[in-house]
A and B are shown apart, each in its own frame.
Chain A
Amino acid sequence: MTGQNYIKKIFSEGKRLDNRKMDEFRKVSVETGILSNAEGSAKIKFGDTELLVGIKMDVLTPFPDTPNEGVLMVESEFVPFASPEFELGPPCEQAVELARVVDRGIRECKAVDVEKLCIEAGEKVWAVHIDINIINHDGNLIDAASIGAIAALLNTKIPKYDAEKGKVIRELGEQLPLKDAPIELTVFKIGDTLFMDPTIEEEDEMEARITMAITQDGNISAIQKGGTGYFTSTEIETAADMIIAKSKDLRSFLK
């Protein structure tokens, strides 16, 4: 219920609503393997923001231009109990953007080794469905969702496939092969202040945000700017440095 001008004012003074530093995250918790019917799963909390990521795998025909590669799909559901702003119906713009940004973070650095997911070239490959379910929206959904997706992938076991009968048998086999574990984080801007991990009150006042995924080598894969404000090139570079530094801390939460 804090007023718009109040938040702009305190940020301009270098303060936040809860006395955190600008690059300080709330209490982060990551639990994996918590959904008994999913091949991989994670529950993520950043303060009061909470979401579940479930991974389901099944067998599909591959895309024509990648006959030897498995398929990766990321979707997200903003269920109305997570926020009075969410409405029932097909995914809203925000949900689509979140899914695509998380997807990009994982796909661009080839984190999932899709070549190892080929069962029969041109005919059958594994599909990895990553579904992000928002439970409570208290800000910074993209970061929580991407950490959740990676944590869930690290926890995923490939089921068995009976080629003769053409059926997936839900017995857990090997760990899903991963080539990287990118950490995707966002820097937000209010006035001239750059900060991370906002609560919903802080996020509602943000003017612009920029999300970057950082690979294990410290390179940048996937960038997405959001919000109706702007960043100068210098601010983008500062944000990159903040994200690279913070990704090291958050990596310690992954198994």
Chain B
Amino acid sequence: MAKEGAPEKLIIDGKRLDGRDFETFRKFDLSVHVLKRSNGSGTFAFGNTRAIAGVQGPRELHPKFLQDPRNAVLRCRYMMAPFSTSDRIRPGHSRRGTEISKVTTDAFMSVLCPEDFPKTGIDVFIQILEADASTRCAGINAASLALADAAVPMKDLIASCSVGKVEGHIVTDLNGPEDMYGDVDFAVSMIGDTDKVVHLQMDGVITRDELSRMLIMAHKGCSEVYKNMKAALKAKYSSNVEGE
């Protein structure tokens, strides 16, 4: 049963409403080291979904009882700017924001080397500036760039993307209408281009067989995101090496 406002069809003749193939991403836009008062920063966009992240730290952690004498404490906070969605979001805590913050922190803990900075805190602030689905994935990617830019020791970058099921077809990188009116939204993050899943959330109903296929698409998608993130990091500093 169609939801109010749903387009009649989301897939026409094997192409999505915005003209993409099933496995094609929206346009990537990445930048590194954009916030001067943060230790490291980055932005990441999938089409009209845009996230910015800044790292403060490693720095002294307060209150003191939160300090871990052997390790750094990582805290990622995800929030959406009030103007990021078409209806304004009231600023402040939200349960969704709290949950996404937790799964984001857990994802980065899998690659962090916290023993290199005992007793410190590393705070990552992620803000979604424009939301058109796959926001938590854009947030995680922006945070990866920011942590690398801040020289926070990590075994690898974390790459994130969404996969979905729309009118029976499995597709990569859901946009707003596909997320809202489609059947399944599967947000996944992996260590680099490996097959190690550090974050996975799925809404919707899939068969056991579809699970296998979506995991394969997810791995391909995350690998492509990873390639773009490495290139953006290297491009930022390579240009310095060559000249102005």
Contact = CB atoms under 8 A, between A and B. Distances in A.
A228 B201 CA distance: 14
A233 B200 contact: no
A62 B138 CA distance: 31
Nearest to B206: A220
Interface residues of A, number: 35
A201 B191 CA distance: 28
A222 B202 contact: yes
Interface string B181-209: 00000100011000111111111111110
A96 B99 contact: yes
Interface stretch (B25-33, B100-108, B119-127, B228-236): B100-108
B110 interface: yes
Interface in B53-71: none
Contacts of B211: 220, 236-237, 240
Contact of B208 (A220, A222, A224): A220
Nearest to A244: B208
Contacts of B198: 225, 229-230
Contacts, number: 97
Contact of A221 (B110, B205, B219): B205
B215 A93 contact: no
A5 B139 CA distance: 35
Contact of B95 (A66, A96, A108, A220): A96
Nearest to A94: B102
Interface bin, chain B:
35 or more
A225 B199 contact: yes
Interface of A: 65-66, 91, 93-94, 96-97, 99-100, 104, 108-109, 210, 215, 218-233, 236-237, 240-241, 244
Given A108-B205, A224-B202, A231-B200, 10 more contacts: A94-B102, A97-B102, A108-B203, A223-B202, A225-B201, A230-B110, A232-B196, A233-B212, A233-B219, A237-B212
29 contacts: A65-B4, A93-B98, A96-B102, A97-B98, A97-B99, A99-B95, A100-B95, A100-B99, A109-B205, A210-B200, A215-B205, A218-B208, A221-B204, A223-B201, A225-B103, A225-B197, A225-B200, A228-B109, A229-B198, A230-B110, A230-B197, A231-B196, A232-B195, A233-B212, A236-B197, A236-B215, A237-B211, A240-B208, A240-B211
